[in-house]
Amino acid sequence: MFRKLGLAVLFVALGSVTALAADFNGKWTAQVETPRGTMPLTFNFHVDGSKLTGTVSTRRGDTDIENGKVDGDNISFDQVMNFNGNEFKISYSGKADGPDSIKFTRQFGDRPGTDFTARRGDAGAPPSAPTGLSAQPQ
């Protein structure tokens, strides 16, 4: 009797831990401050268990996520880019900050990490120009 009760409690406890894991699936947007100004980023995440795949989109195009992992509320991955024949890696690590926000640190080489926040959907995208305004004098 106690053994069955103990197994039932263990099963419920483990199920609760899984239920508390963050849902990183989908589109996330962010603005990252760099020495050259603000850079918009779009992440498209696909989670399968603890494996993370997807893309990082910048002004230079899309890059596949490499070494992607999810562990509860934590997420990490690499973005490998090629510029003029030189390959470089940007490493990201983050933690869910509520259901629609991820606090990230972005590391490039031996430079200090850059902190930023990504938001679910288009919430972290740059504001668009107002519509209906004419740029030409009247």
Over the stretch 108-130, which tens digit does the pLDDT of each residue have? 988 899 999 999 998 766 655 44
Q: How confident is the model at residue 83 (pLDDT cuts 50, 70, 90)?
A: confident
**Which helix (H) or strand (E) segment is 7 a member of?**
helix 2-20
**Which helix (H) or strand (E) segment is 62 a member of?**
strand 61-71
Instruction: Please report whether residue 45 resides in a domain.
Output: yes
Instruction: Please report whether residue 4 resides in a domain.
Output: no
Instruction: Please report whether residue 9 resides in a domain.
Output: no
Quote the DSSP letter at residue 111: S
- Quick check: 79 and 71 in contact, CB under 8 A? no
SS3 of residue 72 by DSSP: coil
Q: What is the domain count for the chain? A: 1
Residue 60 is predicted with a pLDDT of 86
Quote the DSSP letter at residue 22: -
Q: Name which residue leads in pLDDT, 4 or 66.
A: 66
- Residue pLDDT, tens place only, 18-59: 446 799 999 999 999 988 899 999 999 999 999 999 999 998
CATH label of the domain that carries residue 34? 2.40.128.120
Q: Name which residue leads in pLDDT, 2 or 73.
A: 73
For residue 59, what are the domain limits?
A: 19-120
Instruction: Please report whether residue 11 resides in a domain.
Output: no
User: Residue 110: CB partners within 8 Å, gap ≥ 6?
Assistant: none
